[in-house]
């Protein structure tokens, strides 16, 4: 593994993780570090358990073996109060947005603010408006219900809710899937800006090669039930593993690389 | 964690307002000072302000937003007003939020309460009108699909029909059997107490047999099926609607009517008479046992009395109603499932509606049948 910095630099540490559904083993002996202040992109073929890994780290699925520490604490061993403290420090964007369908977008964003911080409602509304606007939604989206929004807008609303408490750590499950290319590029830019200004650490599951180029500091590749490569894009690209070769060497991978080259040249 | 708080001082510097923000300006600490800041903002709108943030320890987007909001409200001359002393990280935050200060509405715009009430009343009436039209058209659509399928029997989805017969029929046998056994027993107890006063003990047989055969057996079966299977139909079809599975069926050239609605309809129409029969038999068993235990009417006497006085039409009245009830329950269950839109909330509403409407219609229909059979003297 590439982890050789100070232990306190790692905001997430996964060691010897094993997860399984019944007999089917998803991960075995999986190690992964996420360093403070970086954007880590997790890639892998369909069914390699990228989303399962994310769900295990955020405590929704209990691992069969191994340890996961987030902010230096093992979530599954922690008492309820510590778990709550941890939950307040991370934000999660689920694949479909997972907005509460009986609340408007603004109420969705206000929900964690009011539950955890007990702020006056005028201030909570201002915060909601700020996050909604920062996520790239128009102001009139605030009073709409999730079912009235398009898929891309739901995703942005989900991001607004994930950012509601100014988390230190942000989990994104395929954030740009289903967005148009312009929207996806803006989303990438937004994540990078947030990382810079808020010092966010981002754990991002993605298929989007452009996102990998545009925003990720390091990339972890999932295959064969573990992380087969982890490091900066240039380093991972040179890996001899056949899946990685095909991933970056395929037509889409090359197109994304070319686009990046053109950017640098211009 | 140490309790930190957000602080600020207001002063005047050469006639220009000066605000000194100190401490931990993160969202969690802003609650206590929000009111005071808003008052200050209202009083100072349009005067110029210099905000000094050099003493800020911590800042997040919420704090940056509040600072920017005050700064915006109080700026008149852009060359005088400024935010000074920001560390690079804080400056980046302040810049980040600057473009995102527009307020947004939290709820759809509200209106006058009385108008809203009238609006809801009118909408309710119009919705009820269109909903009944839609149910009628759904019934017509179902019947025409059924006619089409029956003329080509190979298009009946037998596996699906049998699956629903098991799910909605066979699996409901224990609960329906138990309920009607108990109801039969209760009717007998009630009758026993009153009839004994007149020395007419043996009429309890007539009471139990007529009540259970004509009404209770079939009604009980229908009510349980409406609650058990009608709701399940709505939930199943509604979930498929939400997940766009219904649309997928359509574009694959499969008729949702044929694939989803008709098998459920056929299954219920076949199974409800069977369940009604079972309910009637167990109701009589319950009544008979109570008569035997508390009134010394032996099973032989009970059955003989039944054979002598109860005409067969009582039994047929009960059974004839069953397929009609089944039709109503299946149609309402499937119709409400098809009406589900988008959200989990809508699914919940539709399931409730489905049960309430099918129970209501079953009982209304039963009342009509009662009048009808009375008129034709059956």
Q: What mean pLDDT is predicted for residues B339-367?
A: 91
Using a CB-CB cut-off of 8 Å, the residues of chain B touching A139 are 102-105
H or E element, residue A170: strand A169-173
Residues with Cβ < 8 Å from B368, sequence gap 6 or more?
Answer: none
Using a CB-CB cut-off of 8 Å, the residues of chain A touching B89 are 197, 199
Candidate from A101, A122, A166 with C-beta closest to B26: A166
Q: How close, in Å, is residue A135 to chain B by CA atoms?
A: 9
Share of chain A above pLDDT 90, in %: 18
pLDDT, tens only, A215-260:
899 999 988 888 888 889 888 888 888 888 888 888 777 777 676 6
Taking residue B159's Cβ as centre, other Cβ atoms within 10 Å add up to 9
Does residue B119 have a pLDDT over 60?
yes
Candidate from A107, A139, A165 with C-beta closest to B102: A139
Residue of A nearest to B30 (CA): A119
Contact B291, B208 (CB under 8 A): yes
Share of chain B above pLDDT 90, in %: 52
> Please, what's the largest Cα pairwise distance for chain A?
56
Six token digits for residue B64 = 């940056």
Q: If interface means Cβ-Cβ distance under 8 Å, which residues of chain A face chain B?
A: 101-102, 104, 106-107, 110, 113, 116-120, 122-123, 125-134, 139-147, 163, 165-166, 193-194, 196-199
Look at residue A151 and give its three-state secondary structure. helix
Confidence of residue B93 (pLDDT cuts 50, 70, 90): confident
Closest to A41 in 3D by CA, of A215, A168, A257: A215
Distance CA B142, CA B149 (A): 10
Closest to A58 in 3D by CA, of A150, A173, A185: A173
Q: Which of A67-81, A194-208, A240-254, B171-185 has the highest mean pLDDT?
A: B171-185
pLDDT at res. A259: 67
Residue of A nearest to B35 (CA): A120
Listing DSSP states for A20-51 in one string gives EETTEEEEEEEEEEEETT-EEEEEE-TTS-HH
Look at residue B189 and give its three-state secondary structure. helix
Look at residue A139 and give its three-state secondary structure. helix
pLDDT at res. B210: 92
Complex confidence, ipTM: 0.74
DSSP 8-state class, residue B109: P
Does residue B308 have a pLDDT over 50?
yes
Q: What mean pLDDT is predicted for residues B252-271?
A: 92
Contact A187, A137 (CB under 8 A): no
Residues with Cβ < 8 Å from A71, sequence gap 6 or more?
Answer: A11, A86, A89, A168, A169
Distance CA A25, CA A47 (A): 11
Question: Range with the lowest mean pLDDT among B189-193, B284-288, B340-344?
Answer: B340-344
Look at residue A231 and give its three-state secondary structure. strand
Residue of B nearest to A101 (CA): B343
Closest to B191 in 3D by CA, of B168, B209, B167: B209
- Interhelix angle for B27-44 vs A105-117, to 10°? 110
How, if at all, do strands A169-173 and A201-205 pair?
Answer: parallel
How, if at all, do strands A169-173 and A90-93 pair?
Answer: parallel
The conformational region for residue B239 under phi > 0 = left, psi -120 to 50 = alpha, else beta, is alpha
Distance CA B80, CA B100 (A): 23
Cα distances (angstroms) measured from residue B347 to each of B159, B245, B264: 27, 15, 19
Burial of A49 (0-12, 13-18, 19+ CB in 10 A): buried
Residues with Cβ < 8 Å from A161, sequence gap 6 or more?
Answer: A91, A99, A108, A109, A111, A112, A131
- Interhelix angle for B344-375 vs B217-225, to 10°? 160
The conformational region for residue B150 under phi > 0 = left, psi -120 to 50 = alpha, else beta, is alpha
Which pTM was predicted? 0.71
The conformational region for residue B208 under phi > 0 = left, psi -120 to 50 = alpha, else beta, is alpha
Six token digits for residue B353 = 């509606």
Confidence of residue A2 (pLDDT cuts 50, 70, 90): very low
Burial of A63 (0-12, 13-18, 19+ CB in 10 A): buried
Q: Is B107 on the interface with A (CB under 8 A)?
A: yes
Residue of B nearest to A88 (CA): B28
Q: Is B110 on the interface with A (CB under 8 A)?
A: no
Contact B288, B299 (CB under 8 A): yes
* H and E: helices and strands count for chain B: 15, 5
Confidence of residue A5 (pLDDT cuts 50, 70, 90): very low
Q: How close, in Å, is residue A21 to chain B by CA atoms?
A: 24
Contact A102, B14 (CB under 8 A): no
Distance CA A238, CA A229 (A): 10
Contact B220, B179 (CB under 8 A): yes
Does residue A265 have a pLDDT over 70?
no
Average pLDDT, chain A: 84
Six token digits for residue A265 = 């040249």
Distance CA A231, CA A239 (A): 10
Taking residue B94's Cβ as centre, other Cβ atoms within 10 Å add up to 22
Distance CA A131, CA A155 (A): 13
């Amino acid at each position: 593994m590439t982890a050789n910095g100070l232990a306190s630099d790692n905001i997430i540490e996964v060691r010897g993780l094993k997860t399984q559904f019944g007999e089917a083993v998803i991960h075995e002996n999986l190690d992964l570090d996420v360093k403070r202040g970086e954007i880590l992109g997790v890639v892998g073929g369909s069914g390699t358990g990228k989303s399962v890994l994310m769900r295990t780290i955020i405590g929704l699925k209990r691992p069969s073996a191994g340890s996961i520490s987030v902010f230096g604490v093992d979530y599954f061993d922690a008492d309820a109060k510590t778990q709550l403290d941890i939950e307040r420090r991370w934000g999660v964007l689920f694949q479909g947005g997972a907005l509460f369908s009986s609340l408007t977008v603004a109420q969705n964003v206000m929900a964690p603010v009011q539950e955890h911080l007990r702020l006056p409602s005028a201030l909570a509304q201002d915060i909601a408006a700020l996050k909604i606007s920062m996520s790239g939604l128009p102001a009139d989206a605030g009073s709409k219900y999730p079912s009235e929004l398009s898929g891309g807008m739901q995703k942005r609303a989900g991001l607004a809710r994930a950012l509601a408490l100014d988390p230190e750590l942000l989990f994104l499950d395929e954030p740009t899937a289903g967005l148009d290319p312009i929207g996806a590029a803006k989303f990438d830019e937004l994540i990078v800006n947030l990382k810079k200004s808020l010092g966010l650490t981002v754990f991002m599951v993605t298929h989007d090669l452009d996102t990998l180029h545009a925003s990720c500091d390091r990339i972890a590749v999932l295959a064969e039930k573990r992380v087969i490569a982890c490091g900066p894009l240039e380093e991972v690209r040179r890996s001899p593993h056949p899946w990685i070769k095909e991933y970056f060497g395929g037509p889409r991978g090359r197109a994304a690389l070319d686009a990046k080259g053109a950017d640098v040249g211009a | 964690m140490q309790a930190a708080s957000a602080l600020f001082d207001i002063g005047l510097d050469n006639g220009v307002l000066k605000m000194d923000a100190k401490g931990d300006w993160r969202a969690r600490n802003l609650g206590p000072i929000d009111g005071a800041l808003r008052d200050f903002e209202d009083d100072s709108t349009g005067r110029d302000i210099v905000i000094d943030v050099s003493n800020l320890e911590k800042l997040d987007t919420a704090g940056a937003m509040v600072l920017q909001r005050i700064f915006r409200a109080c700026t008149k001359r852009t060359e005088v007003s400024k935010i000074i002393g920001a560390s690079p990280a804080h400056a980046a935050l302040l810049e980040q939020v600057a473009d995102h200060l527009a307020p947004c509405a939290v709820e759809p715009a509200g209106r006058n309460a009385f108008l809203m009430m009238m609006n809801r009343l009118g909408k309710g009436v119009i919705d009820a009108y269109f909903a009944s039209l839609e149910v009628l058209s759904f019934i017509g659509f179902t019947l025409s699909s059924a006619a089409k399928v029956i003329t080509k029997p190979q298009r009946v989805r037998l596996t699906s029909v049998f699956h629903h017969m098991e799910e909605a029929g066979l699996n409901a046998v224990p609960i329906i059997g138990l309920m009607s056994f108990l109801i039969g027993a209760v009717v007998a107890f009630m009758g026993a107490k009153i009839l004994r006063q007149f020395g007419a003990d043996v009429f309890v047989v007539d009471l139990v047999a007529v009540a259970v055969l004509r009404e209770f057996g079939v009604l009980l079966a229908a009510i349980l099926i409406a609650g058990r299977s009608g709701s399940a139909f709505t939930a199943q079809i509604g979930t498929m609607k939400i997940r766009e599975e219904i649309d997928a069926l359509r574009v694959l050239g499969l008729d949702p009517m044929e694939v989803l609605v008709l098998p459920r309809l056929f299954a219920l129409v076949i199974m409800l008479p069977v369940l009604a029969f079972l309910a009637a038999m167990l109701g009589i068993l319950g009544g008979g046992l109570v008569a035997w235990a508390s009134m010394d009417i032996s099973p032989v006497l009970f059955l003989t009395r039944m054979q002598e006085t109860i005409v067969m039409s009582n039994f047929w009245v009960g059974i004839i109603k069953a397929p009609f009830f089944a039709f109503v329950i299946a149609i309402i269950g499937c119709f409400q499932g098809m009406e589900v839109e988008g959200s989990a909330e809508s699914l919940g509403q539709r399931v409730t509606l489905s049960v309430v409407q099918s129970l209501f219609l079953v009982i209304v229909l039963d009342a009509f049948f009662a009048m009808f059979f009375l008129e034709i003297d059956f």
